[in-house]
């Protein structure tokens, strides 16, 4: 049986990913900062809950210890993310940037480092980083795509960094599939539920990567249609 941990798994794309993978027979851990909301989501779905704040080293280490005690891990889904401030780009501060990068990029580094020993014990380990087409040069320059209409310097830069981090981990961690998934413009709390895709459509790429066994691709950037341009 495959065991999967999803950070930020109590709502939106994370929760839907959990629901779909549970239906596929995975044992799913929902990692969430808020214990009340996280436990409620886990109880409603039939998942396991672990308190996990990706910006806190101690919280991440404690979560890894809990998952290790309960049998280990096969798939890590780095889903937790924030948009950050919506201030005028001309007024952004270094602190604004660090807040977004701490969650969206450094958070993935923290969880990867902490859970790596567990993944290395798996027969088919995988890391899936939930990124965005908003971090793709190709997408934001394509006037036929909605990404070209968005101006959000910190969020988009963080997703570019996360996608490149994926490539570097794929090279550095042989034997572990490390891939980036772009959900597409999906209706979630992050965008005020303005996206045209449902959360089910938005989780297609993540779920497909999570269901691949050993020998699947690594170092890829994919969306629900397949390999995406970067």
Whether the CB-CB separation of 168 and 158 falls below 8 Å is answered with no
For residue 199, name the pLDDT band (cuts at 50, 70, 90).
confident
Give the pLDDT confidence of 150-160 residue by residue, as tens digits. Answer: 999 999 999 99
For residue 75, name the pLDDT band (cuts at 50, 70, 90).
very high
Per annotation, catalytic residue among 59, 122, 132, 136 = 132
| Complete edge-to-edge strand list for the sheet that includes strand 3-7 | 48-51, 27-32, 3-7, 75-78, 126-130, 177-181, 221-223, 226-227
pTM: 0.95
Please state, for a pLDDT cut of 70, what percent of the chain lies above it. 95
To the query of whether residue 132 is one of the catalytic residues in this protein, the response is yes
Q: How far apart (Å, rounded) are the C-alpha atoms in residues 12 and 130?
A: 12
Give the pLDDT confidence of 10-34 residue by residue, as tens digits. Answer: 999 999 999 999 999 999 999 999 9
Tokens 């929902």 belong to residue: 30
Give the pLDDT confidence of 28-59 residue by residue, as tens digits. Answer: 999 999 999 999 999 999 999 999 999 999 99
> What pLDDT sits at residue 192?
62
Per annotation, catalytic residue among 59, 136, 159, 160 = 159
Helix (H, G, I), strand (E, B) or coil at 20: helix
To the query of whether residue 159 is one of the catalytic residues in this protein, the response is yes
């Amino acid at each position: 049986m495959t065991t999967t941990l999803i950070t930020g798994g109590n709502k939106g794309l994370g929760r839907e990913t959990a629901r779909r993978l549970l239906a596929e027979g995975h044992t799913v851990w929902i990692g969430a900062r808020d214990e009340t909301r996280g436990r409620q989501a886990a109880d409603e779905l039939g998942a396991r809950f672990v308190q996990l704040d990706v910006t806190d080293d101690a919280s991440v280490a404690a979560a890894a210890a809990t998952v290790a005690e309960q049998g280990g891990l096969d798939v890590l889904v780095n889903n937790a993310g924030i948009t950050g401030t919506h201030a005028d780009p001309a007024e952004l501060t270094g602190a604004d940037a660090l807040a977004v990068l701490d969650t969206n990029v450094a958070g993935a580094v923290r969880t990867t480092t902490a859970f790596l020993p567990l993944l290395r014990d798996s027969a088919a380990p995988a890391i899936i980083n939930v990124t965005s087409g908003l971090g793709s040069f190709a997408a934001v320059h394509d006037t036929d795509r909605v990404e070209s209409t968005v101006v959000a310097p910190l969020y988009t830069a963080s997703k570019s960094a996360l996608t490149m981090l994926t490539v570097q981990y794929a090279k550095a961690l042989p034997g572990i599939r490390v891939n980036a998934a772009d959900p597409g413009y999906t209706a979630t709390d992050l965008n005020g539920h303005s996206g045209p895709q449902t959360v089910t459509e938005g989780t297609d790429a993540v779920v497909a990567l999570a269901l691949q066994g050993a020998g699947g691709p690594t170092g890829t950037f994919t969306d629900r249609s397949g390999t995406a341009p970067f």
